[in-house]
Structure 1
Amino acid sequence: MTKNKFRLIYDQLATEIQKGMIQPGELLPSENELADTYQASRETIRKALKLLSEHGYIQKVQGKGSIVLDISKIDFPISGLVSFKELADKMGKRAKTTVVTFSRDRVNDFLRKHLQAVDGEEVWSVARVREIDGEKIILDKDFLRVDLVPALTKKDCEESIYAHIEEELGLVVSFAKKEITVEEPTEEDMEQLDLEGYSNVVVVKSHVYLDDAKLFQYTESRHRPDKFRFVDFARRAK
């Protein structure tokens, strides 16, 4: 099937932004100029620009035009509980998730500590690689208590664990305690990620709770260090 013309224009502009042919902070040509360049209607150009905006490539500013954003780094909120799926939805086809391990296991000493579990309890063990713009840059390792999340599937993990928990189980993911460290890559990191010679990874460790204060998940999100900004809003208390 032939692509719609606006998608072809979107692909061309997105590729130029990814390759640095159009730099962050630059203005794209006007709608009229783009229409002339691509021999397309202004409506087609608007659709392409809308897609670029939705996928995080540009910001449309009234009176100025379309400003190219810095896509080399992705903002991750520190204080918020945002799933990768929610971030990926803004990036469209730029983002891809691959489930590399999915199993149901007995707790070990490590998980007894991090999930406050007891001997004999079972956990879901999930490892997912997050790929953005063709590069594998996040390894998410999730451990969830089976007694609280009893029917997880690999498909749920490919799409969104939190969507399964909130929409299908009717539970409320409420808050998390987070710790951010910089560590040397493990063999697993080096195997699963495109580290390109980086000697450290940024690790976000999260203990995640339901609204009844039950700890149901421990996560290690292991990031290649050049691709992320960890952002928060802080107010000074007096």
Structure 2
Amino acid sequence: MSIKSKSDHIYLDLKKRIYSEEFDHYQILPTEKELELAYNASRNTVRKAIRLLNIEGLVYSKTGSSNVVLRRVPITDELISTGNIMRPSKIKHNDIETVVLSFNQSTVNAKLANKSTFDEGESVFHAVRLRIIGGKPMMIDDSYFREEIVSGLNQKIASQSIYEYIQKTLGLKIIGSKMADRVVKAEKMDRDNLVLGDKNCIAQTQNWAYIDSGEIFEYTEIHFSPEFYVRTRFVPR
């Protein structure tokens, strides 16, 4: 388990207090000075926590004024909270089981090179994982990892947390992803493993993940059952 910074702890506590409607009467957070005293933290640490609340769409910081708590939109069937460079996307469910449908080492062909930005002919690990969420098969991760960067990857690691392995064991820093969402025709893999009912399509997210050298180390196509695909995002202006 990763060690959270003090700003992360403040952010998580304020988030919990916001969700408990503690600030709904006034719709503003305590002042930065009050938060510094309450959490025994520096101004910079408090501001980092508030910035995370802004990014998530929970708070709006008015320049030179207060931090306004935004009215919450009640979305009860949310599957994924969309992240960004400071906060990764997160599945909004605690009951997640990962089943590795296949794992092998392969070579990038022209078709994959075109989609992934990987060089044709280079070696990659190909992992296909089924995510069973709340007892329901909701999504498939069809992933390619560059062997040059993610060395030593195996099926056991793929059944647990590949990102934890990359960051803790390999010591690499993952900084974020570029994503593209679309609706595509269901493939045999989808029909065999996902709950599609009478639908012949799936929601698909393409994901290109970066380390801090600027290199893309992963290309994944995430396949979602349309019935369960609800992704939220907050877009600041």
Once the two structures are superposed, what CA deviation does each residue of 1:77-110 show, in whole Å capped at 9, x if it has no partner?
A: 1546636xx63xx633x22110001000011112
Structure 1 segment 35-114 matched on structure 2, within 5 A: 72-77=77-82, 79=84, 82=88, 87=91, 91-92=93-94, 94-114=95-115
Aligned to 1:178: 179
SS in 2 for 1:155: helix
CA drift of 1:72 comes to: 4.0
3-state SS in 2 of match to 1:91:
coil
Structure 2: any 5+ residue segments left out of the alignment?
1-18, 23-73
Length, aligned pairs only: 168
Q: For residue 220 of structure 2, what is the aligned residue in structure 1? A: 219
**Aligned equivalent of 1:145:** 146
The residue type paired with residue 205 of structure 1 is Q
Of all paired residues, the percent bearing the same amino acid is 25
Give, in whole Å, the separation in 2 of the partners of 1:228 and 1:98: 19
| Preserved contact between residue 93 and residue 134 of structure 2 (Cα < 8 Å) | no
Q: Provide Cα deviations, 1:29-80, integer angstroms capped at 9, x if missing partner.
A: xxxxxxxxxxxxxxxxxxxxxxxxxxxxxx7667xxxxxx976441331546
Q: What amino acid is the match of 1:130?
A: R
The structure that is helix-richer by fraction is 1
1:44 corresponds to:
none
- The equivalent residue for 1:195 is 196
TM-score normalised by the chain length of structure 1: 0.63
For 2:81 and 2:180, the matched residues in 1 are separated by 14
Is the CA contact 2:167–2:173 (under 8 Å) kept in the aligned structure 1? yes
Amino acid at match of 2:100: V
Whole-angstrom distance in 2 between the partners of 1:139 and 1:127: 7
What letter is aligned with 1:218?
Answer: Y
Q: In 2, Cα distance between the equivalents of 1:208 and 1:197?
A: 33
Instruction: Give the distance between the partners of 1:174 and 1:186, measured in 2 at CA.
Output: 31
Instruction: Return 5+ residue gaps in structure 1 as ranges.
Output: 1-58, 63-68
Q: TM-score, normalised by structure 2?
A: 0.64
